Each structure stands twice: as structure tokens, then as C-alpha cells.
Chain A
Amino acid sequence: MFDTKDIIETISMIREECLDIRTITMGISLYDCQSEDPARLCSRIYDRIMSRAENLVKTGEDIEKKYGIPIINKRVSVTPIALMAGGLSADDAVKVAKTLDRAAHELGINFIGGFSALVQKGFTNGSKAVIDAIPQALAETERVCSSVNVASTKAGINMDAVALMGRVIRRTADITAERDAIGCAKLVVFANVPEDNPFMAGAFHGIGEPETVINVGVSGPGVVASAIRRKGDCNLTEVAETIKRTAFKITRVGQLVAKEASERLGVPFGIVDLSLAPTPAVGDSVAYILESMGLEKCGCHGTTAALAMLNDAVKKGGVMASSHVGGLSGAFIPVSEDAGMIEAARCGALSLEKLEAMTAVCSVGLDMIAIPGDTPAEVISGIIADEISIGVVNTKTTAVRLIPAGKVGDMVSFGGLLGEAPVIPVSKYSPAGFIGRGGRIPAPLQSLKN
């Protein structure tokens, strides 16, 4: 029989500490939807997504009810559209994005990812078409997410792509300026992008994935913060132990949901992504975890060390709880999506430089950060280059999702899980000469492991 204490612990994790399954993401291969005719390509893509993901939302809701745990998002990721867009113009690629958006609305899913290109070594015709289409595609769709991988430890950094993505983010911000540059919240630039990530905006269905797959992303920063607070006055070894135990429990629920979704949908189970993903809700914050360890404010000296320990303990606890761990798996630090990060950025405790240092020891990167609306494209490219080089040299995923909007000190708001963020300053000195050189930064020595 069950221990009453365990039952109450599970119930209070869900009801009071915001434990949820952040997303069930179905990956769908589009390879055999290829067509030279853009209209035919769009209709094949639409039919494929609609038939494969037909029961995704209903299944998610049924599992939610069975276990009494909220499943916040149901999402779809597809083959990077750049691989399908060899013969397309940018205008045709926008039509594909609109097709994805239409399918997302029809299915009732929250986001669809995969308007993506992988250009770490160079551009294909398809990747050029997709990247050129990104600003308009994101301005004219609601649920489509886009990502571009510009570097890897194996390939080095494609600086032409870094320069181009600075201009793409600039253009996306300009044409969605009246909506607080919302287009940029759906666009992420990666190094070492994982191909099975269930989280947006970076999800796509990678080239080594099966026809269809179910990936699940867990959450639960509130549960970890509460467990540390309950532990009270103890040393950091005990804090790490507490985080591990909690991460294990959270991930076990993710594994349960992933297994059940996979069985019900008749689709193979891919991975559980054991990331700590915050939401703007009070109590669901990664910054609060760091503060519960004894930091006065997230961003003060000591933050990077606290985050490094948190990230490591989450992985150690989570990895035993799931048969397959993948995706991004670590602590996320998206500024606008985390109540504690928003407050720390607003009061000046958290700067862009500190956030960059933090990304060296945790999952993802400079995420959902509002920078001044008049930031030049070269400066955006400079920020991307810095962040991407951290990923390349350290053989890890890093990413950049910047939102140029408003003036320093303004609050920009994106709604829902995307939250709101104070605009923080960037360096006023220009990297234009460096960015303008183009070419490729060679792969680091770490890439030569064979």
C-alpha cells in the first residue's frame, strides 16, 4: 500500500509547487513529402502532419486526467524545412510556414517547430530560402517556431551565417516592432543543436530520427526550490543531494507520461528532456532556486557556481529516472519566462555579461533577453558569435534568442509562457569590422577526437 506522506508530497508538488509536464512533442518526418511544385509540397506537408498528429492533443488531455498532472503544451516538430526547400524561393518558403501554422491551428497544438536550417559549414539553396523567409514567416504566422544552427564543435563557426542571423533578427524585430518584436521570441540561433529537443523555439525532427517519435519535456523549478527551502541550513553537498532526489522524482513522472503517450499513440518513445524549464508564474523560477541556496539576488557573484551545481545535480538525479535522456537536459535561464530572472534583470543584479557567463555551465544560452530596439545587426551578430563560441569550445549546446525592442528600462511583453522582460543594455562599441570579415572560424582541437 502507499505511504500517506508520499501521496501528500506528490499532490503538493503538483498543486502548490507548479510541477507539470511542460510538453509532449511529436516529431514527424516530412522527407517523403518532397515535391518540385510548392503547392503540392504544402498540401503533402499539411496532410502528413494532420494524419500523424491527429490524436496528439486528445491523448495529452487524457493522460493529464488519468494522472492528475498538468501537461501544459502539446507540440509538433518536423524535419528542418531547409531540407525540403531545395527548389523553393523565399516566398514559397513563407507559404510552407503558413501551412505549418494552419496545421497547428487545426490540431489545437501550441507550437510547431522545424522552420529550420543547419548551416554550420555553409548554405544550401534550401537553407538560403528558409533563412531569407524567416522574418516574414514569423511575422505572418502565430505558432511556427524557427531555428538556425550556425556552428558545431565538429564544423567550427560559420561567421557568414552569424552575420546573416544578426540581420535576420534585426529585420524580424523591425517588421514585428508594433507587437514588441514577438517574431524574435520564436527564433533561436544555435551551436551544437540537439536533434531531439522537445522545447521551443528550437525543436525540429532531426535527420537520424525515426518516421514519428514522442519526446517529453519535464519541468518543476518550484519543486526543487521548495525542497531546498525545506532542507534549511545545510551544506552544499546536502543541497546537491536534495536536488538530485527531487530531479529523480520529477523525471520519473516525465518517463511515465512519455511511455504512456508513446503506447497510446502507437509511436516510438524518443527521449525525456530533463530540463528545469521555468514559467513566469510565481514559484516556478530557476532564479528562485539559486536564491534559495543563499544568493541575495540571481546575478550576484556566486551565481555561476550555484547554477553549475544545480545543472549537474539535475542531470545526475534525472538520468537514472529515464531509459532515454536527450534534448537539452539542464537548467534553462530564459529571462522573460522566469519571475526571479525578470526581477533580477529589472533591479540591475543580472547583466548580459553575467548571463553569458552563466550559459557556460547550464543548458541553452542567452534566452528571451530584451535588448534595445535600435541595436545594430552587427552588435546582435557579435552577441551571437560570443555565445556560440562558448558552445563550440565546450562541446555543448548554446543558443541565442534576443528580442530587440523598446529602450533600456522599458518592459516588453510577449504574453503567455513567453512572459515579459526589462530591456537591458548592450555594449555601445561596435564589432562591425570583425563580423564583416565573414568566413569560418575553424573547428577547435576538441573536435579531433578520433
Chain B
Amino acid sequence: MKAVVSVIGRDSVGIIAKVSAGCADFGANILDISQTVLDEYFTMIMIVDIEKLNRPFNEFVDYMSARGKADDLDIHVMHEDIFNSMHRI
């Protein structure tokens, strides 16, 4: 199972490091990262493997969201199935 981590906010030093540290802490393995910076706004989409999470998925969602808020970033973690459902037949 995979999840999509989306990060949106004002660009600053160390965003990827902070998000990656959170993933590592929960045992989420990063499979793919894509990022763009447009008009000082940073957008990152990260695909992570959540098979070996060391805590429940909901806690991972809450932690990343709170972590984002502390740095003025909008971080959302969503299970892959919502994207599969919507975009694949």
C-alpha cells in the first residue's frame, strides 16, 4: 500500500528534510518525489510505501498535518486508493 504526501507552502530551506524526517520516523519508505517552486510557493508530491508503518496510518496523517502547521506548510497524507479510484478504471 502506498500513500501520497502533498506539501504546499512558502519556499524555505529544509522543507524536504523535515518531511522526510517525519516519514522516516513512522517507517514510511519514500518511493518518489516531485517538486516545483512557482512564485515563491513550494509544491511537493511524495509517494511513500506505508506497508511497514510502525504506528497506525491515522497517526501518521495527524503528525504530518501538525508538523506542517508548525512550519506554515499545508501537508496532507492521503491513501493511494482515492487516486486509483478517481483516475483509473
Contacts of B76 in A (CB 8 A): 11, 68
Contacts of A448 in B (CB 8 A): none
* Residues of chain B in range 9-43 having any CB-CB distance to chain A below 8 Å: 31-32, 34, 43
**Given A4-B45, A7-B6, A7-B45, A69–B83 Cβ distance below 8 Å?**
no
Contacts of A65 in B (CB 8 A): 58, 61-62
Alpha-carbon distance between A69 and B83 when the two chains are bound, in angstroms: 11
**Given A1-B47, A11-B6, A65-B58, A6–B87 Cβ distance below 8 Å?**
yes
Which among B47, B80, B86 has the greatest number of chain A C-beta atoms within 10 A?
B86
- For the residues of A in contact with B, the DSSP-based class is helix
Determine whether the beta carbon of B82 is less than 8 Å from that of A69: yes
* Least distance between A248 CB and chain B CB atoms (Å): 9
State which of A3, A62, A69 has its C-beta within 8 Å of the C-beta of B58.
A62
Contacts of A2 in B (CB 8 A): 4, 47, 80, 83, 87
Residue of B nearest to A19 (CB): B86
* Least distance between A115 CB and chain B CB atoms (Å): 35
A1-31, CB under 8 A of B: which get 1 and which 0? 1111011111100000000000000000000
In the complex, A437 has a CB within 8 A of chain B: no
Determine whether the beta carbon of B4 is less than 8 Å from that of A67: no
A52-81, CB under 8 A of B: which get 1 and which 0? 000000000010011111000000000000
In the complex, B71 has a CB within 8 A of chain A: no
Contacts of B32 in A (CB 8 A): 1
Chain B, interface size category, equals: 20 to 34
Determine whether the beta carbon of B87 is less than 8 Å from that of A67: no
**Given A7-B6, A62-B58, A66-B58, A249–B45 Cβ distance below 8 Å?**
no
Alpha-carbon distance between A4 and B83 when the two chains are bound, in angstroms: 10
In the complex, A98 has a CB within 8 A of chain B: no
* Residues of chain B in range 24-80 having any CB-CB distance to chain A below 8 Å: 31-32, 34, 43, 45, 47, 57-58, 61-62, 76-80
Contacts of B85 in A (CB 8 A): 252-253, 255-256
State which of A4, A8, A10 has its C-beta within 8 Å of the C-beta of B82.
A10
Determine whether the beta carbon of B81 is less than 8 Å from that of A67: yes
Determine whether the beta carbon of A3 is less than 8 Å from that of B87: yes
Alpha-carbon distance between A224 and B57 when the two chains are bound, in angstroms: 31
Alpha-carbon distance between A303 and B43 when the two chains are bound, in angstroms: 40
Can you spell out 11 A-B residue pairs with CB atoms less than 8 angstroms apart?
A: A6-B86, A7-B6, A9-B87, A10-B86, A11-B6, A11-B78, A66-B79, A68-B77, A68-B82, A69-B78, A256-B82
